[in-house]
Amino acid sequence: MVWQGEYDRLFIGGRWEVPSTDEVIEVISPYTEKPIARVPAAGTADVDAAVAAARAAFDRGPWPRMSLADRIEVLGRLSAGMRDAETLMAELVSDEMGCPITQSHGIQAVRPRLIVDAMIDLARAYPFDEIREAPSGRARVTREPVGVLAAIVPWNAPHLVTMMKLAPALLAGCTVVLKPAPETPLDAYLLAELLTRAGLPDGVVNIVPAHREPSEYLVTHPGVDMVSFTGSTGVGRRIGALCGGLVRRVALELGGKSAAVVLDDADPESTVSALRTGAFRNTGQVCSAKTRVVVPRGRAADFTDALRAATERMPVGDPADPTTEFGPLVSARQRETVERYIRSGRAEGATVVLGGGRPAGLDTGWFVEPTIFAGVRPDMRIAREEIFGPVLSILEYDTEEQAIDIANDSSYGLNGAIFTADPGRAVQIAERIRTGTVEINGNPVGLAAPVGGVKDSGVGRELGPEGFDEFIEFKSVGLPRDLAMEWT
């Protein structure tokens, strides 16, 4: 297939099917502001067909009944195909949503494949079937696939988030209806080709790009057993309410307003080096971005100057240029949102120490200058609400207790960071920060650990062995004590 141009089919039941409507989704380059592709916008009839295909594949098809080893073999072939397509996938996602190409290779292409590989390794040790003995009885406890999964993914890291859901769900034996974001459907078309080449049985994964009404219809469809959604907290609340009314399983990975707590003994150079990625990767369009930098009042000037100097050296421009570190925002609407927050920060009394406007010489593309605010109070909107753009707030504290209070003074709890010369001290502080993940001195948690949020940042976990837990149902079978278990 040619990955820019006109598409007129939807991937349903292992085939490219004619959609039920003439409505299309136009994919716009955030750099050129021109259309690069059109794909069908699925209607409710297409959602019905996709769910029916997934339902048939789960209820009567081979996938849930295959051995784990056989499913691993298919996912292994998918991983090999993803490796061959890494450059294409990175370029495709950069074209769709503007992620700088060097970052796109890692975030949008390599890391998704590493997730598949990590989940394969974890699946081999996951207790899908075990015997439990107690004086009160003997049971076979199995972890069975939850059924048909509706996986709804965002535009900021579409292939990455898709693999966070698909890899464990498929290994567990689920079937899937994947709903990509309207801004970024093309990577899902490439994924369909990779799944087909890997030998995935028909109907196990079905792909329906769609606008709001068909998407909500998918969430409430009677043929769906579970919904896994990554996106904004507002939409997550709506999905959670709909699933709650249906007593339907739901996992939600939502927004964040993560704090980076800089202790008084932290080294400015290494701290700022880590924050370049932790706060600004993907032009700040990352839910786990550390957008609140909490610094000691006596060293605020040092850290502010270091952040400003480092950020000034990060090039803004064409996302296809390997030297670019800030690309355009995904859409004109997203740029308007970010600019509205910048105006709010100024109006509430924060000081712009870098950026605050549109970069000179880039008249085309939805660009915003990397922006750093100093003198930010915890009650300001820029310190409380998720901006999803290259905007950083510096907040000051006097005591360690106050720093912890500022970090926890948020409706979100997705991610966080601590910077210090004493990692042991950081571990103790991390225990007091109410968030799903804490990184010490820029060290990531890796792919064997669960990620997810508390409070308004969501419900459930992805990755690690816990990533399988989201997509299974427990079943306990009482057994006679003298029964031989040859299957275990």
Task: Give the catalytic positions in this structure.
Answer: 253, 287
For the chain, counts of helices (H) and of strands (E): 16, 21
Which residues have CB under 8 Å from 73's CB, separation 6+? Answer: none
Rounded-to-integer distance, Cα 208 and Cα 236, Å: 19
Whole-number Å distance between alpha carbons of 444 and 442: 6
CB 126 within 8 A of CB 96: no
Work out the number of other CB atoms within 10 angstroms of the CB of residue 469: 17
Quick one: three-class SS letters along 107-145? HHHHHHHHHHHHHHHHHHHCCCEEEEEECCEEEEEEEEE
Distances (CA, A) of 365 to 37, 289, 317, 333, 391: 17, 23, 9, 12, 18
476 has which bridge partners?
A: 141
Sign of CA dihedral 36, 37, 42, 47: negative
At 326 the three-state DSSP class reads strand
Looking up tokens 């699946």, which residue turns up? Answer: 123
In our burial notation (b when 16+ CB lie closer than 10 A, e otherwise), range 476-486 reads: eeeeeeeeeee
What angle is formed at CA 333 by the lines to CA 328 and CA 339, rounded to 5 degrees? 75
Residue-by-residue DSSP string for 30-99: TTT-SEEEEEE---HHHHHHHHHHHHHHHHTSSGGGS-HHHHHHHHHHHHHHHHHTHHHHHHHHHHHH--
